[in-house]
Amino acid sequence: MATIKDIAQYTGLSITTVSIVLNGKGARISKEAIKRIEEAKKILNYEPNMLASSLRKGSTNIIGIVVSDLHPYFIRLAQLIERDIAQYGYQVLIVGSDESDEKCEAMIDNFINFRVAGMVLAVTSGLKQRIVRLNKQRIPFVMIDRYFKGVTANVVLLDNFRSAYNAVDFLIKKGRTRIATFHYDTQMHHMQDRMDGYKAALKDNGIRFNKKLAPTISFSEANAIEINGMIKEMVEVYGADAIFFQTNRAALPGIDAIFNLHYKVPEQLAILCFHDNDFFKLVKPSITAQCQPLEELAKECVNILLSEIKGELKSKVRRVFPATILNERDST
């Protein structure tokens, strides 16, 4: 790629003269010199270094997005954010943390050093203090999908409690009384909200919570063999007649295990997933799942972030979207 130095050498003009013209400040430069520089730009295929230009101004036109992993849910959400914010002249960089606190913090630091205009963050569970420090740094950001209690920040998320409650209540209305789920070993409050919604729906329908039907698994790394064994025990020992998967991280290996164990779905075991997935429509029977309002989440995230960048927000904003819509299919 041609540089300002290359144009200077080609035209015989100084680097300073070329730089002044390319930055649109060549009022005192001769018309002949400007013409030579413009011709050289075309011949050498010069493209301005927008990053260097932005860094000189103190920030870039780039929005950094940190997601927990490259799950279809986050990929689609990031795509929608990119689409919506591109209208305002911003570009997007998307990175995944693999649910690692160290990676997540390093990516946030890299974006700050890169002088991004703002950030969208689906943070990992151990980043509470980093978010507190980020607030003090006055860097525009929005937390999406996740939050920390006691930390004031711009947040856009689902009503996880009500969504989980509605899912379990739906299964109960279908006649299921021994509804299993997985309890995740995480301090992330959005997952605790889902578990609380599960328990509340059972209680309100007169069904006692049974720990045996809610075994604990790793949030960051679903072990397919472990999940297979747990599902077998929940069905064959504790009589589970439905499974509510709170994440697709567990749902995908879990559904595979259910089919491998040859359970009849939905006659023997109903399946309902918190997140939808194109794969769920293809398997037989197709899987009932909740449809997340991704368009609305992305749009609100962009609106808040742009207002923060412009300095228009007088206080932090918290937006909670209502319970999700159920895509009822064959598995229930």
**Residue (of 279, 93, 249, 110) closest to 185 by Cα position:** 249
Domain positions in the chain: 4-48, 59-158+294-323, 160-292
Q: Residue 187: its pLDDT value, please?
A: 86
pTM higher than 0.85? no
- 59-158+294-323 and 160-292 share one CATH topology? yes
CATH class (in words) of the domain with range 160-292: alpha beta
Could you report the per-residue pLDDT of 155-206, keeping only the tens digit for each?
999 999 999 999 999 999 999 999 999 999 988 999 999 999 999 999 999 9
Could you report the per-residue pLDDT of 198-251, keeping only the tens digit for each?
999 999 999 999 999 999 998 877 788 999 999 999 999 999 999 999 999 899
The DSSP output letter for 324 is P
Mean pLDDT taken over the chain: 91
Rounded to 10°, the helix 31-44/4-11 angle is 120
Could you report the per-residue pLDDT of 94-103, keeping only the tens digit for each?
999 988 999 9
CA pseudo-torsion sign 139, 144, 148, 149 = positive
Q: Which CATH code, of 3.40.190.10, 3.30.930.10, 3.40.50.300, 3.40.50.2300, is assigned to 59-158+294-323? A: 3.40.50.2300
Number of other residues whose CB lies within 10 A of the CB of residue 301? 26
Could you report the per-residue pLDDT of 11-66, keeping only the tens digit for each?
999 988 888 888 777 778 888 888 999 898 888 888 766 555 555 555 678 999 99
